[in-house]
Chain A
Amino acid sequence: MKILVCISNVPDTTSKINFSGDNKSFDKNGVQFVINPWDEYALTRAIELKEAKGGNVTVLNVGEADAEPNIRKALAIGADDAIRVNANPKDAFFVAQQIAAIAKQNNYDMILMGKESIDYNGSQVHGMVGEMLGIPAIVPAFKLDMVDDSTARLEREIEGGKEVVEVKLPFVASAQQPMSEPRIPNMRGIMTARTKPLQVVEPVSAEVKADYVGYSKPEKKGGVKMIDAENAGELITLLRNEAKVL
């Protein structure tokens, strides 16, 4: 089975987010980048399926050279090879175009990625890739198993419940917890990752359709109002009369 796992390189959740002085761009200074946490669910599930059934896991990142340490990390976790499309990922449509172009050159049985990236929180790329390739996109999925060599069984979340879907290969799916238990690379993995192939390709030309023009931060909260535990019931009165949320 040939699986493509798309990973994005995102600021660690604990990072303080800052923008350039004119608020026109994100300031990468001092920010630690990690594999998007949702993508790790996709990556480890792909590796588990490969371990059970054989095959190959390719990781794909649309990003600049500074993403390579995290691509190597994905290889250390157990992916076989990697492709980096050498471009600054400007919007979801642009990224989806790049992924679809790579997918068209190779016959992947499934294309997996995270439910959203924790930087732009778009939840768009998976559906776009599915549509560009004319294959189903099962999003967001929290369970993925093979029924037989050509059919997968997924469980996807819907508001208030879940759907069980059986689908023929190939398909796109986005992953969320608890699809798998993300792994930490071991020493052997880190050593072998250095020798695994990482191919760098140039982007296909693609339109950017959502142009990011500025950033801002939420207004600071007014600070917390403390209520004495002895008179806890007073909180309910405040929530009704002052905060007006009850």
Chain B
Amino acid sequence: MSVLVFVEGFNGEIKKSSLEAATYGYQVAQQLGTTATAVAIGEVHEEALAKLGEQGISKVLYDADSRLNQFVADAYVKVIAKAAQQENAKVLVFSNSNIGAAVGSKLAVRLNGSLATNVTTLPKTDGGQFIVTRGVFSGKAFADVNLTSDLKIIAVKKNAFEANHNAGATATIEKLSAELSDADFAAAPKETVMQDSSGGVLLPEAEIVVSGGRGLKGPENWHLVEDLAKALGAATACSKPVSDLDWRPHHEHVGQTGITVSPNLYIAIGISGAIQHLAGVNSSKVIVVINKDPEAPFFKAADYGIVGDAFDVVPKLIEAAKALDK
């Protein structure tokens, strides 16, 4: 019996959200008196795999089949299922990412497991139950859910857990091969296009997000958002009308119909705070709102607020942020 964590790579490294999932998996393993193994697929540096020891992972199973350098749901499912079987896994842990959702739901059927996504707590296991809390109603509530199958599958919400960092600890690496067939690649991508978000920080992974709304008046003013983001090491985002107007690309739009983010710090500039926007950002730990209208609804959801014109306020913030010693 063990806990198996599926970790995702990005540019050869392990994604931050997967390091959080690994830590979560390790903590569940401790709770259950067992160890945590990770399974990694595709292009990841061996050093990065070994370093998963720092999150408490003792062993990494690694399938380096080059056809898996791109994400292919059915093939990934087969590899993870094989690893789960080999390890006799009772708990599977993923990050609540697009990839995690795609493979987690298929594995729940294939391995006859109970699945909970968007999970924000470690399990409560008293009385033979296995109850986790997950975010529901677009951040407006939490639900406690008891996973009743023998196999429990958990997708951990990004930024809900801090990754362990036991410097120097290493995991052993074992090769894994799942004997993939052509059928597993029936829906393989013809093309993968990565869009560089400013500063190279992936928006869904970012700890700090600087976001702009229609209050910025036009794309020519976006240097205000970008410069502040750069000074803080943040990713940039925007409200829906901004991407609808093509001031910014669609993959930057956060909210109910865009990306959900839960960074430690969300800075909203010239955004009114419509409920559909809040739905994508309201689980951020600290929210800062800059708006010239003191009645803007966003102030009700904010931790810090500045009533003022973005064109006066943001340059002051950039200056102060640049003066910070990192």
Interface residues of A (CB under 8 A from B): 11, 13-14, 17, 19, 37-38, 92-93, 96, 118-128, 130-132, 136-140, 142, 156-168, 171, 176-178, 208-218, 221-222, 224-229, 232-240, 243, 245-246
Q: Would you call A124 and B117 a contact (CB within 8 A)?
A: yes
What are 21 of the A-B contact pairs (CB < 8 Å)?
A13-B276, A17-B137, A92-B105, A124-B115, A128-B105, A157-B251, A163-B70, A164-B192, A167-B187, A177-B258, A208-B148, A210-B114, A210-B115, A212-B144, A217-B142, A221-B303, A224-B304, A229-B312, A232-B306, A243-B265, A243-B304
Kindly report which residue of chain B lies nearest to residue A142, judged by CB atoms.
B250
Given known A131-B109, A162-B193, A224-B305, contact A233–B256 (CB-CB < 8 A): no
The CA-CA distance from A122 to B251 in the complex, in Å, is 21
Interface positions, chain B 287-304, Cβ under 8 Å from A, are 288-289, 299-304
Which residue from A127, A218, A239 sits with its C-beta under 8 Å from B288? A239
Q: Would you call A240 and B324 a contact (CB within 8 A)?
A: yes
Q: Would you call B147 and A213 a contact (CB within 8 A)?
A: no
- Which residues from A are CB-within-8-Å of B186? 136, 167-168
A56: shortest Cβ distance to chain B, in Å?
Answer: 24
Which residue from B97, B104, B147 sits with its C-beta under 8 Å from A124? B104
> Taking the complex as formed, is B33 at the interface, i.e. its CB lies under 8 A from any CB of chain A?
no
Kindly report which residue of chain B lies nearest to residue A126, judged by CB atoms.
B105
Given known A161-B195, A245-B265, contact A216–B115 (CB-CB < 8 A): no
B284: shortest Cβ distance to chain A, in Å?
Answer: 10
- Which residues from B are CB-within-8-Å of A142? 250
Q: Would you call A128 and B251 a contact (CB within 8 A)?
A: no
Kindly report which residue of chain B lies nearest to residue A233, judged by CB atoms.
B320
How many residues does chain B have at the interface if contact means C-beta atoms less than 8 Å apart? 99
Q: Would you call B187 and A160 a contact (CB within 8 A)?
A: no
> Taking the complex as formed, is B37 at the interface, i.e. its CB lies under 8 A from any CB of chain A?
no
- Which residues from A are CB-within-8-Å of B136? 119-121, 215
- Which residues from B are CB-within-8-Å of A93? 108-109, 114-115
Q: A124-B104, A158-B71, A210-B114 are in contact. List 5 more A-B contacts (CB 8 A).
A: A121-B118, A159-B99, A164-B192, A225-B305, A243-B265
The CA-CA distance from A217 to B312 in the complex, in Å, is 37
Interface positions, chain B 91-135, Cβ under 8 Å from A, are 97-99, 101-106, 108-110, 113-118, 131, 133-135
Q: Return the 5 tightest CB-CB contacts between A and B, nearest first.
A: A127-B105, A229-B308, A233-B320, A136-B187, A163-B189
- Which residues from B are CB-within-8-Å of A227? 304-306
Q: Would you call A245 and B110 a contact (CB within 8 A)?
A: no
Which residue from A11, A140, A215, A225 sits with its C-beta under 8 Å from B304? A225
- Which residues from A are CB-within-8-Å of B148? 208-211
Q: Would you call A237 and B320 a contact (CB within 8 A)?
A: yes
Given known A159-B10, A237-B320, contact A245–B189 (CB-CB < 8 A): no
Which residue from B135, B188, B289, B324 sits with its C-beta under 8 Å from A236? B324
> Taking the complex as formed, is B167 at the interface, i.e. its CB lies under 8 A from any CB of chain A?
no
Q: Would you call A166 and B190 a contact (CB within 8 A)?
A: yes
Kindly report which residue of chain A lies nearest to residue B138, judged by CB atoms.
A118
> Taking the complex as formed, is B67 at the interface, i.e. its CB lies under 8 A from any CB of chain A?
no
- Which residues from A are CB-within-8-Å of B113? 209
The CA-CA distance from A108 to B118 in the complex, in Å, is 31
Q: Which of A14, A118, A124 has the most CB of B within 10 A?
A: A124
Which residue from B141, B289, B304 sits with its C-beta under 8 Å from A239? B304
B140: shortest Cβ distance to chain A, in Å?
Answer: 5
Which residue from A136, A167, A239 sits with its C-beta under 8 Å from B286? A239
Which residue from B137, B188, B306, B321 sits with its C-beta under 8 Å from A226? B306
> Taking the complex as formed, is B32 at the interface, i.e. its CB lies under 8 A from any CB of chain A?
no
Given known A209-B147, A232-B313, contact A158–B257 (CB-CB < 8 A): no
Q: Would you call A178 and B250 a contact (CB within 8 A)?
A: yes
- Which residues from A are CB-within-8-Å of B140? 17, 217-218
The CA-CA distance from A217 to B133 in the complex, in Å, is 11
A242: shortest Cβ distance to chain B, in Å?
Answer: 9
Given known A168-B186, A215-B142, A235-B320, contact A160–B137 (CB-CB < 8 A): no
The CA-CA distance from A84 to B312 in the complex, in Å, is 55
Kindly report which residue of chain B lies nearest to residue A153, judged by CB atoms.
B190
Q: Would you call B265 and A246 a contact (CB within 8 A)?
A: yes
> Taking the complex as formed, is B82 at the interface, i.e. its CB lies under 8 A from any CB of chain A?
no
> Taking the complex as formed, is B205 at the interface, i.e. its CB lies under 8 A from any CB of chain A?
yes
Q: Would you call A160 and B197 a contact (CB within 8 A)?
A: yes
- Which residues from B are CB-within-8-Å of A123? 101, 105, 117
Q: Would you call A157 and B105 a contact (CB within 8 A)?
A: no
Q: Would you call A124 and B146 a contact (CB within 8 A)?
A: no
